[in-house]
Amino acid sequence: MIRLNDLKISYRIGSRTIDAVDGVTLTIPDNCVVGIAGESGSGKSTLMKAIYGDIQSPMYISRGSIDYGLKGVDGKPVTAGNVRKEWFKSISYVPQSSMNSLNPVIKIREQFIDFPGTDSNKKRVLEKARAYIGKLGLPPEAMDSYPHQLSGGMRQRMMIALATFFQPELIIADEPTTALDVVVQKDILMLLMELQEEMGNTILVVSHDMGVHYQVTHKMLIMYAGRVVEYGDTDSVFADPQHPYTRMLIDSLPTIGDDSMRGVLASQAGASGDRAYRVEPNLIEVKPGHFVAQSEGASV
C-alpha cells in the first residue's frame, strides 16, 4: 500500500510560493480502484505527479514523504529516489491526451519496441504486443498505424496497452476519458476495471467527473484547495456525503451513466450553492473507513 505522510507540494513562481497540496496524510490500499475527485485547481493532478515521481521545477515537495510499499523489477523497494527507474514497470501512467503522449511520427509497433525495459528481441516483443492489444479489443493491424490514423478511443486503448504492458502494481490514470464521447468513455472505464480485476493491482483514477468515480472506483477521496476533505468507500461517500463540498460535487453530477441515479444522488446530497470552505487539516472518522475534514462554510 502507498502511504502519504503530511505531504505538502508547492510551486515556486518567481518570489512567490504557491501550495498546491497541503498536509495530505493518507493510506491507499492494494488491489483496488481509488478515485480522486475535485474541481480544477484542487490539487489532484499535482498529487498524482508527485506519486508518479514526475517532479519538475517549479514544482517541489516542501514537506512530508511518500512511502510506496512497492517492489521494483529488481526486487528492491520503490522509493522517491528510484521511482523514475520503475516507470511503466512497477508504476505506470495513463495521461489525459493520448494524442500528445503517443509519438506522432512513428508507428505504434515501434513505440512498443522502443518502450523502456522491453525485450531486445524485436520479433518476440511484437508478437507479445499484438496478442496483448487484441486482448484489449484492438485489431492487430493497429500496430502498423500512426497515432493520427486511429480514432480517439483506439488511441486511448493503445495508451492503456502501453501503460499496462508490464502489469505494474500501480497505475495512475489522469482524466482517462477526457474528450471522448459517452459510449467510448464507458468502454475505456470497463477496460480499466477488467484490467484491475485481472492484475489485482491498484489504479488511481483522477477525474472531475463524479459519474466516472461512481462507475469504476472502490474508494474515493475528495480534494478541495489542496487538502483531502473526504475519503472512504465510494458507496458510502455517495450514499452519505459528509462534507458540504462533496455534496456540491454530487449535486452537480454529470450525465454519464444512468440519469435516474443522478436524480437520486442529487436529492440525497441536497443543493449547497456556490461556497468556499475553510478546511481543517485533520480527517475525522465518522463511520468505519469513512473520513471527513472539519469545515466551516462561507458564502463566496
Q: C-alpha distances in angstroms, 135 versus 26, 79, 92?
A: 34, 32, 19
- Which pLDDT does position 227 carry in this prediction? 94
Asked if residue 147 is part of any domain, the answer here is no
- Which pLDDT does position 145 carry in this prediction? 96
User: Is residue 269 predicted with pLDDT exceeding 50?
Assistant: no
Q: Write out the residue range of the structural domain in which residue 210 sits.
A: 27-40+168-299
- For strands 290-299 and 275-287, give the pairing: antiparallel
Residue 298 vs residue 278, higher pLDDT? 278
Asked if residue 50 is part of any domain, the answer here is no
Residue 296 vs residue 236, higher pLDDT? 236
- Which pLDDT does position 180 carry in this prediction? 83
DSSP states of 44-77: HHHHHHHHHT---TTEEEEEEEEE---B-TTSSB
CATH number at residue 237: 3.40.50.300
Contact 112, 106 (CB under 8 A): no
Contact 292, 229 (CB under 8 A): yes
Asked if residue 128 is part of any domain, the answer here is no
Asked if residue 17 is part of any domain, the answer here is no
User: Is residue 170 predicted with pLDDT exceeding 80?
Assistant: yes
Asked if residue 289 is part of any domain, the answer here is yes
pLDDT digits (tens, 9 = 90+) for 35-78: 999 998 999 999 999 999 999 999 999 999 999 988 887 888 89
Asked if residue 218 is part of any domain, the answer here is yes
Does this model's pTM top 0.75? yes
Least-confidence region, from 43-52, 81-90, 134-143 = 81-90
- Which pLDDT does position 277 carry in this prediction? 59
pLDDT range class, residue 255, cuts 50, 70, 90: very low
- Which pLDDT does position 273 carry in this prediction? 42
- Which pLDDT does position 281 carry in this prediction? 60
Name every residue whose Cβ is closer than 8 Å to that of residue 18 and which is 6 or more positions away in sequence: 10, 11
Residue 200 vs residue 99, higher pLDDT? 200
Domain count, the chain: 1
Average pLDDT over residues 68-89: 86
Contact 24, 228 (CB under 8 A): yes
- Which pLDDT does position 235 carry in this prediction? 96
Which one, of 38, 42, 48, 37, lies nearest residue 22 by Cα? 42
Asked if residue 225 is part of any domain, the answer here is yes
Contact 60, 18 (CB under 8 A): no
- Which pLDDT does position 141 carry in this prediction? 94
Query: What residues form DSSP beta bridges with 291?
Result: 231, 285
- Which pLDDT does position 232 carry in this prediction? 96
- Which pLDDT does position 280 carry in this prediction? 59
Asked if residue 52 is part of any domain, the answer here is no
Q: Where are the alpha helices (DSSP H) in 69-151?
A: 98-101, 108-113, 122-135
User: Is residue 257 predicted with pLDDT exceeding 60?
Assistant: no
Q: Which secondary-structure segment (H or E) carries 229? A: strand 227-233
Taking residue 289's Cβ as centre, other Cβ atoms within 10 Å add up to 11
Q: C-alpha distances in angstroms, 236 versus 36, 172, 242, 282?
A: 15, 23, 10, 20
